[in-house]
Structure 1
Amino acid sequence: MQTLLPGITMERVPTRRLTTAVLSVAGRTGRPVLFVHGNVSSSLFWQPLMLALPERYRPLAVDLRGFGDTDPEAVDATRGLGDYADDLAALIEALELNSVHLVGWSMGGGVVLQYLTERPAEHAAASVTLVAPVSPFGFGGTYGVDGTLCDPDGAGSGAGGVNPDFVARLAAGDRGADSPTSPRQVLLAHYVKPPFVPDELDIFVESMLSTRTGDDHYPGTSRQAPGWPGFAPGDRGVLNTMAPTHFRIEGLDALDPKPPVLWVRGADDVIVSDTSLYDFGYLGSLGAVPGWPGPDAWPPQPMVAQTRGLLDGYAAAGGRYREVVFADSGHGPHLDQQAQFLAALEPHLAQA
């Protein structure tokens, strides 16, 4: 099927690391706005927003390695999201984007943060927008606003927590709606808030199905662990990049210059939240995973509070951020509340 909306073009850009697929809006030459997608998705999810941006901006959307039409290079999870962050830096360099607005969704928010903190005085960001970003202390297996590990092995995080039927359906190219673990149904139940159905649903399903699967990609490798719930992250693949033993954002307060940050999230997000349906601490508290050690040893991860703590530290060091929460919105507020999202994004870009 045709996956590009009218007005959107795609090119593969050679960089010093790999060849990266980039979407753009034909004819736009203004200040660049670079969109970075999340896990199990691709640049295709950004198309409606790219077309809706005012003419004075040049919207660009990248496919991360192993997604969409970018080279499917292996992912070294021991660097956290470093492979993706370095790829992003290489693309910014190749496109000669000396001042760019960065917008990162979910895992893409973590990519943007790691890009910034590894280049505190060299980044090219004019502004930063974090859309339902992964916690700065990774996904799963931590508690407290400082991201303390529940288990020293990082148990309860990484590739071992994935639903194998979902992975199988991704690998098989399942476009149906007959199972709650089909990509289509996961999108409708978790990416957006039901009963919202995006006009571009079929395109977004194709975007999800562009995810490479396997040990080097999604979900990655896993290993057994003595602590509950019995698995710990491996060192390869997508989900392990966000394990708290591999990924931790520090040094955001050291950025110089400090771009303004807009943090946008949906009030009904079930993926990145303090009550995430993908967090084993929360699932254990619901009785969905047997053997839960209890709230003192393994409370649900306070993902939202952890991000707020990071940004409060950024503000205390002289930066500024704004948090915007949309009612009736899920993990993709740019999808199910596009008009409100644009109303928050446009002044943020203009004031940067």
Structure 2
Amino acid sequence: MTDTVRPAVGTILPGITARHVRTPRYTAHVLEREQDAPGGASDRPTVLLVHGNVSSSLFWQPLMLALPDTVRAIAVDLRGFGGSEVLPVDASRGVRDFSDDVASVIDELALGAVHVVGWSMGGGVAMQLLLDRPELVASLTLESTVSPYGFGGTRLDGSLLNPDASGTGGGGANPDFVARLAAGDRTEEVGTSPLAVYRSSYVAPGYASELEAVWLESMLTTATGEGNYPGDATASEHWPGFAPGAHGVLNTMAPTVFDTSAIVDLEPKPPVLWIHGALDAIVGDASFFDLNTLGQAGIIPGWPGDEVAPPQPMVSQTRAVLAAYAARGGAVTEVEFDDCGHSPHLERQVDFRAALLALVASPASAASPASAASAE
């Protein structure tokens, strides 16, 4: 079942429509283009866009409008973000609450196999969807994706630095940032305000957008609390004194519960595009969102040293897993932009669009068994 949505004034761009899709799992808020009439499977390829943490489908609108009519574009809000239903997140399942929700939208709309684009945490959701429902994925685009081994607490090969993955999960969020999200703070008075975090972390220095107010409103839709963002934490005997909890968003990416490296074993393998910026402040081999990086820099006291708590080599991990994916027969394309941060679809929209459309039109996408099955 679907309902039309009356969006907040100024957040939905001309040419975009919003509606709610009721599935057995949750009520999802989705965005579509006006020319893409609601319906089931289409003779055009469908691009399904999955946002990241502390954001929503609103961030996808410029890309959606820039895509040609030869594809259908749909952006979905995860539970607790955007206009979707606020439900608690069971982090003991990794990101499966999110990926199962996305699958339920695909099923409810009878879309068949889609070209999934996952940004940041959404990349982890997309990889999990591929593992659990491979028939729904015609191709996979990973934008500034979380590592296949989760966020924090692992070595290059994905092995845990310590058994409880201390320093990862819900306890790692800045409490002032969380409080300002919950309060709907629209100021830029301190570095922990959502607007300041967007400017310093979501995009590279010098990037400016006339739609910045829309991106801020998108961030402020994030549901906060132990069951949502950031989640809970448990005590740890290891530095910095806490470990992941069992609830909420950040705990879904803790390496104790999140590992999508098994995509290398899938058969068949849909083509993969990995697109990211060299100036990404969130996902990197020395991310300042990784508490071990902060300890190494002396920002958090008591850091036990590189042998015990090295920063997670996030980009190198993704590159290694995708290299293994390619070595086992998968088609992989990596695109890195030197002058770009965490949001290539905003900062380098023309180039991002070209890379995505090349993937959608590739023989590997067209010939994938999942795509063929959806057309039957």
Same amino acid, percent of matched pairs:
55
| Shift, 1:285, TM fit | 1.4
Alpha-carbon distance between aligned partners in 2 of 1:346 and 1:119, rounded to the nearest angstrom: 23
Counterpart of 2:117?
103
1:228-285 Cα deviation digits (max 9, x unpaired): 0111110000000001111111421232331110000000001000010111121111
Tell me which residue corresponds to 2:180: 169
Match for residue 192 of structure 2 among 175, 181, 192: 181
TM-score by length of 2: 0.91
- Whether the 8 Å contact between 2:283 and 2:342 is mirrored in structure 1 is yes
Where structure 2 has 5 or more consecutive residues not aligned to the other structure, the ranges are 1-8, 37-41, 366-376
Aligned partner of 1:126 in structure 2 is 138
The aligned residue for residue 149 of structure 2 is 137
- Are the equivalent residues in 2 in contact too, given 1:3–1:203 (CA < 8 A)? yes
The answer to whether the Cα contact below 8 Å between 1:268 and 1:327 also exists between their aligned partners in 2 is: yes
Match of 2:31 in 1: 23
**Which residue does the alignment assign to 2:374?**
none
CA contact under 8 A between 1:222 and 1:234: conserved in structure 2?
yes
- Pick aligned residue for 1:115 from 110, 129, 137: 129
- 2:237 alignment counterpart: 226
When normalised by structure 1's length, the TM-score is 0.97
Alpha carbons 1:253, 1:314 under 8 Å: kept: yes
CA distance in 2, matches of 1:163, 1:53: 36
Contact preservation (8 Å) 1:222, 1:233: yes
1:87 corresponds in structure 2 to 101
| Cα-to-partner distance string for 1:102-139 (whole Å, 9 max, x where unaligned) | 0000000000001111234xx22111100000011111
Name the CA distance, whole Å, in 1 between partners of 2:137 and 2:260.
17
Contact 1:143–1:298 (Cα < 8 Å) also in 2:
no
Question: For residues 313 and 184 of structure 2, what CA distance do their matches in structure 1 show?
Answer: 34
Work out whether 1:40 is the aligned partner of 2:54: yes
Q: Which residue of 2 aligns with 1:65?
A: 79
Deviation at 1:317, TM superposition (A): 1.6
Residue identity matched to 1:16: P
> Residues 130 and 263 of structure 1 are in contact (CA less than 8 Å); yes or no, is this contact kept in structure 2?
yes
1:54 to 61, 68, 76: 68
249, 273, 277: which is aligned to 1:266?
277
Give the length in aligned residue pairs.
349
* 1:306-317 equivalent positions in 2, closer than 5 A: 306-317=317-328
Q: Which residue in the other structure is 2:345 paired with? A: 334
Task: Note the alpha carbon deviations across 1:59-112, whole angstroms, 9 max, x for none.
Answer: 100000000111111100000001001101111111111121100000000000
Moved over 6 A (4+): none
* Distance in 2, Cα, partners of 1:334 & 1:297: 36
The alignment's C-alpha RMSD in Å is 1.1
Equivalent position SS for 1:188: helix
TM-superposed deviation, 1:323: 0.7
Letter in 2 for 1:11: R
Letter of the 2:323 counterpart: D
